[in-house]
Amino acid sequence: MPDRIDDLPLALYSSAQVRELDARLIAAGTPGFELMQRAAHAAWRALRRRWPSAGEITVLAGRGNNAGDGYLIAALALRAGWRASVLAVGDSSALQGDAALARDEAQAAGVAIQIWSEDADLRGVVVDALLGTGLAGAVREPYAHAIRCINASCLPVLAVDIPSGLSADSGAVLGVAVRADLTVTFIGLKLGLFTGDAPELVGELAFDGLQADLGLVAAHPVAARRLAVEGMALPGPRPATAHKGRYGRLLVVGGDLGTGGAALLSAESALRSGAGMVSLATRGEHVAAALARMPEVMSIGVASANQLRGLAAASSVLVVGPGLGQNAWGRSLMSAVVAHDVPQVWDADALNLLAAGRVALPAGCIITPHPGEAARLLGVDTASVQADRPAAARALAHRYNATVVLKGAGSLVASADGRLALCDRGHPAMAGAGLGDVLAGVIGALLAQGMAAFDAACLAVWLHASAGQQLGAQGRGLAASDLIPTIRQLLEECSPCRS
């Protein structure tokens, strides 16, 4: 079985859920100031591991509990023989409760506390303790200016709990956000640390549960779960009597003139991911190339919906849209597709035709939009989708009564019943054409082998991103077809064909 990429928890929380969890811990007998002290110690340990010889820190502190963590970190650094100073952004005398106690402890330890100004000297490791998870609107001054100064300093940056200015719920930048090298987060992982703009801003992520009662944490509601092998459904081993008819008849529909390669990629990835029989309905001009590339796939040239109907009726799963186009040929084939009550995966131009109102999505389908396609399906702009990717994924699942794979950094899988999963694997080398076509084929193959829609989508997204991460280590130039053998290998490692 592939190794876990990290030892972080799988549960992801909204900012409100983390605040509730924090309140429950306090109500259960752990004082808030003790939790703050534990957080400071955790951050200080992580800072020393990452920069053991830095010898100096500059803490930028705001006016909430996040600032309290920062004051205590400064006190710990000073006691360890490091130089430590705090630059207070806003009036530190306005601090209340536990944050005020933390400021007083830092002062008693001898930490120099000064009012921040744009001319302030940042030195050593910069500790971002400005704004926490409660930030909802755009960052206001003087915090915005302080954040810009941190980013311009070129110094190493540790963010306490979350980079200031990053939404804990959506991963969107709220005007301006700190770019951290290391983020140390507490109690529960925030959903916004893994999607949207977060991968560019969080840096290395460390987690500390602050010795919270595991039973209390496990009973608390979550916003989403990270995808990992041990948390996903997998196809079972195959019996010695296995035959091709038990593992589905999958039909890929697509490949208009000029875009035949997209349908070929989907068919090949479906074949290599274990579908029993794979057929391809495409332009007649592409059949020779398809047979030369994949003689195992039954490739048929179709010119109209009438020719497709019989093929679709004989299939147990349809993968529709790769290279389909939006012209008369593609629209005609879609009219045949929607009449069949079998599991379907809609991708690419099938989604564009759906957004244009030219077809209706059968119930129980899986749709795989990138942010631009998601925006068209929701009738908004792409920026609105990216501003709150979890909300967009949920909205699509509800609107279309479908399982949704919202692709991009921190891909999300949402079901119509409210479940949400996030994949934090992948690599920038995956930014290329055809990778979505490969993913659609993998999803279809897992459906053909009997997996439920949400489970198939989750496993396919994880396999696809994990393969990309593994191959992306070789650098630029990753071709979509490169992923297919690695996906097959990963699937076998996760779920061996023979028990």
User: What is the DSSP track for 189-208?
Assistant: EEGGGSSTTHHHH--EEEEE
Residue 66 annotated as binding? yes
Residue 136 annotated as binding? yes
Give the chain's mean pLDDT: 95
Residues whose CB is less than 8 angstroms from the CB of residue 207 and which lie 6 or more positions away in sequence, other chains included: 8, 9, 184, 185, 186, 189
Whole-angstrom Cα distance, residue 402 to residue 435? 22
Residue 138 annotated as binding? yes
- 3 band by pLDDT with thresholds 50, 70 and 90: very low
Whole-angstrom Cα distance, residue 174 to residue 194? 16
- 94 band by pLDDT with thresholds 50, 70 and 90: confident
Residue 381 annotated as binding? no
The predicted model gives 145-171 an average pLDDT of: 97
Q: Are 355 and 346 in contact (CB under 8 A)?
A: no
pLDDT tens readout for residues 296-331: 999 999 999 999 999 999 999 999 999 999 999 999
Residue 164 annotated as binding? yes
Tell me phi and psi for residue 250, to 5 degrees: -105, 135
Pseudo-torsion of CA 381, 387, 390, 393, nearest 10°?
10
Q: Are 23 and 98 in contact (CB under 8 A)?
A: no
Residue 106 annotated as binding? no
Amino acid symbol at 434: G
Grouping H, G, I as helix, E, B as strand and the rest as coil, residue 480 is: helix
Kindly state the DSSP code that residue 450 receives in the 8-state scheme. Answer: T
pLDDT tens readout for residues 45-89: 999 999 999 999 999 999 989 999 999 999 999 999 999 999 999
Residue 414 annotated as binding? no
Amino acid symbol at 456: A
pLDDT value at 5 more than 90: no
Tell me, what's the pLDDT at 126?
Answer: 98
Reading the block at residue 94, the tokens are: 């306005």
Reading the block at residue 102, the tokens are: 């933390």
Residue 407 annotated as binding? yes
Residue 340 annotated as binding? no
Reading the block at residue 302, the tokens are: 């179709």
Residue 133 annotated as binding? yes
pLDDT value at 293 more than 80: yes
- 4 band by pLDDT with thresholds 50, 70 and 90: very low
User: Per-domain residue ranges for the chain?
Assistant: 11-222, 230-494
pLDDT value at 1 more than 50: no
Residue 441, Ramachandran bin (φ over 0: left; ψ between -120 and 50: alpha; else beta): alpha
Residue 135 annotated as binding? yes
pLDDT value at 228 more than 60: yes
Architecture of domain 11-222: 3-Layer(aba) Sandwich (3.40)
- Closest listed residue to residue 358, CA positions, set 377, 382, 385: 377
Residue 161 annotated as binding? yes
pLDDT tens readout for residues 186-218: 999 999 999 999 999 999 999 999 988 888 888
Grouping H, G, I as helix, E, B as strand and the rest as coil, residue 77 is: helix
Residue 196 annotated as binding? no
SS3 content of the chain, % helix, strand, coil (to 5): 45, 15, 40
Tell me, what's the pLDDT at 2?
Answer: 46
> Class of 230-494 per CATH?
alpha beta
pLDDT tens readout for residues 141-155: 999 999 999 999 999
Residue 104 annotated as binding? no
Residue 134 annotated as binding? yes
pLDDT tens readout for residues 31-47: 999 999 999 999 999 99
Grouping H, G, I as helix, E, B as strand and the rest as coil, residue 443 is: helix
Residue 262 annotated as binding? yes
Whole-angstrom Cα distance, residue 140 to residue 326? 45
